Structure 1
Amino acid sequence: MVAWKSLVCLALATVGAYAADAVEKREEPPTLVARAGTPSSTGTHNGFYYSFWTDGAGDITYTNGAGGSYSVTWSGNGNWVGGKGWNPGSARNIGYTADYRPNGNSYLAVYGWTTSPLIEYYVVESFGTYNPSSAASKKGTVSSDGGTYDVLSTQRVNQPSIQGTATFTQFWSVRQSHRTSGTVNMANHFNALEDCWPETSALTTTRIVPTQKLTSAAGKREPVTV
């Protein structure tokens, strides 16, 4: 039996945004707004943990709102991931509402990391032009919260992670019918994760409801409330 530890956040996220360990940590920062784009950062805001990472390409503005809300606008090509959640997290029920209008490749997902073993995970509620399950190995399905999710995994070799450059597994739970509001029962997805890797149990995690975006040219406003 392996005791899991995780550093995770809930956020709207994109494939390719993995450098969560390289961002600055601050306590109770002011609302993040920048004329030429918001710099990468993590911290707490109105009782929630937040994380925002960008590769510096494109023009992305991440704004922390009241409570568990945040919004993102973007234009140009670039990668980013950001949102609000908990650090550390737990197998909680996560309620959310999002005005998610993608034009290009992006995901609306619960996002996080575990350590021991090192796993990056996504519970994808909706996505844009690219289905993240397309390049992953299917492990099965899980029924939760009125829908069916495809359970998949991929392997990342020598890629940035919360522990620096490492080789790790990505776990994907992708909802077949898209939605932009509802409740995500994380216990069901963690159980599916343990079914795929039976040697793991006792999961403790940190999560963010993020928006992740990979290379899209259209600017959209994505207000999300957790």
Structure 2
Amino acid sequence: MKLKGIQKIIGGTVSAMMIAASIPAVASAADQQDRGNIGGYDYEMWNQNGQGQVSMNPGAGSFTCSWSNIENFLARMGKNYDSQKQNYKQIGNIVLTYDVEYTPRGNSYMCVYGWTRNPLVEYYIVEGWGDWRPPGNDGENKGTVSLNGNTYDIRKSMRYNQPSLDGTATFPQYWSVRQTSGSANNQTNYMKGTIDVSKHFDAWSQAGLDMSGTLYEVSLNIEGYRSNGQANVKSVTVSTDGSGGGASSNDWNQGQEQNNDWNNWNNGQQNNDWNNWNNGQQNNDWNNWNNGQ
């Protein structure tokens, strides 16, 4: 099932999309949407067709959210850079830190999310998921990168004639997905970490993915598809001077991974590998996530 790329984008500076810029082409009249800026952070809650029960309570660099019986739901918070019209390298050394209590019950994930323009690209850095590891079997393998104590698989997938930041378009999606999820399904996961976002972008560039476009946003995103769940984002920060700190490695294709996964630090949880995560999972594909967007 492809977690829909969320074509809703943070537009706090502009009008405020948390990752959800106000893209009229994205949300239908029936969609439930709430956007704003608080304490310098852009946020958005989006609920497809207004289905089920949802909530998002934003603070300055924090929010809580919950969802049940939904089609597709997202809550996100971060920084919008659209007005700067600059490439990520011009903006600075972008680092996002998070401290989250995340409870997925079904198909859901927690990630860093955003877009670039010229070229139009949608991107994800996935830290944890519920019962389905995105993007499934979709797309091309582009290698791995080890950063902040975790190893990520890099993938590229394509969206054809789908809603986007700039209306209906064909565009690529770039992914960094942790080889070992920082979360488990049907339990509260205490997740805390640092993501050197610019170094993921560097790795994608080295893998042949085009990151020359102007950066639209960098946000922490909680998303659910036909599932239930909740999250308490106790803090999220986005800096452009590298002050989030703590990159353990930025070597391309480095295979070594430090054993400092947050769940190991806090709960002694087992490192469930990809095969364990997917045993018995439904063959939900990416297009299902985007249907109706």
What's the TM-score bracket when you normalise by the shorter of the two chains? 0.7 to 0.9
Contact 2:10–2:78 under 8 Å retained in 1: no
How is 1:147-186 mapped onto 2 (pairs within 5 angstroms)? 147-179=150-182, 180-186=191-197
Partner of residue 69, structure 1 = 62
Contact 1:17–1:80 under 8 Å retained in 2: no
Cα 1:181–1:172 change in 2 (3 A) is: same
1:208 aligns with 2:219: yes
Cα 1:72–1:210 change in 2 (3 A) is: same
Could you tell me how far apart the structure 1 residues matched to 2:147 and 2:178 are?
9
Partner of residue 32, structure 1 = none
TM-score by length of 2: 0.63
Could you tell me how far apart the structure 2 residues matched to 1:200 and 1:16 are?
21
Could you tell me how far apart the structure 2 residues matched to 1:22 and 1:207 are?
9
Counterpart AA for 1:47: G
How is 1:13-162 mapped onto 2 (pairs within 5 angstroms)? 15-20=3-8, 39-55=32-48, 56-65=50-59, 67-88=60-81, 90=91, 91-136=93-138, 137-162=140-165
Q: CA deviation at 1:99?
A: 0.4
Could you tell me how far apart the structure 2 residues matched to 1:48 and 1:19 are?
19
Equivalent residue of 2:44, what SS?
strand
Counterpart AA for 2:133: N
List alignment gaps of at least 5 residues for structure 1: 1-13, 28-37
Could you tell me how far apart the structure 2 residues matched to 1:50 and 1:140 are?
32
Q: Provide, for residues 39-87 of structure 1, a one-character-per-residue CA deviation record: whole Å limited to 9, x for no partner.
A: 313221121111222212221111112x210111111031022211000
Equivalent residue of 1:167, what SS?
strand
Counterpart AA for 2:6: Y
Could you tell me how far apart the structure 2 residues matched to 1:85 and 1:112 are?
9
Equivalent residue of 2:76, what SS?
strand
Contact 1:21–1:163 under 8 Å retained in 2: no
1:222 aligns with 2:215: no
Count of equivalent residues = 200
Contact 1:159–1:167 under 8 Å retained in 2: yes
Cα 1:99–1:193 change in 2 (3 A) is: same
Could you tell me how far apart the structure 2 residues matched to 1:223 and 1:22 are?
19
Tell me how large the CA RMSD over aligned residues is. Answer: 2.5
Contact 2:35–2:44 under 8 Å retained in 1: yes
Cα 1:134–1:59 change in 2 (3 A) is: same
Contact 1:112–1:120 under 8 Å retained in 2: yes
Could you tell me how far apart the structure 2 residues matched to 1:116 and 1:60 are?
34
TM-score by length of 1: 0.80
Contact 2:141–2:156 under 8 Å retained in 1: yes
Counterpart AA for 1:78: E
Q: Provide, for residues 166-187 of structure 1, a one-character-per-residue CA deviation record: whole Å limited to 9, x for no partner.
A: 1111111001123321100011
Could you tell me how far apart the structure 1 residues matched to 2:211 and 2:77 are?
26
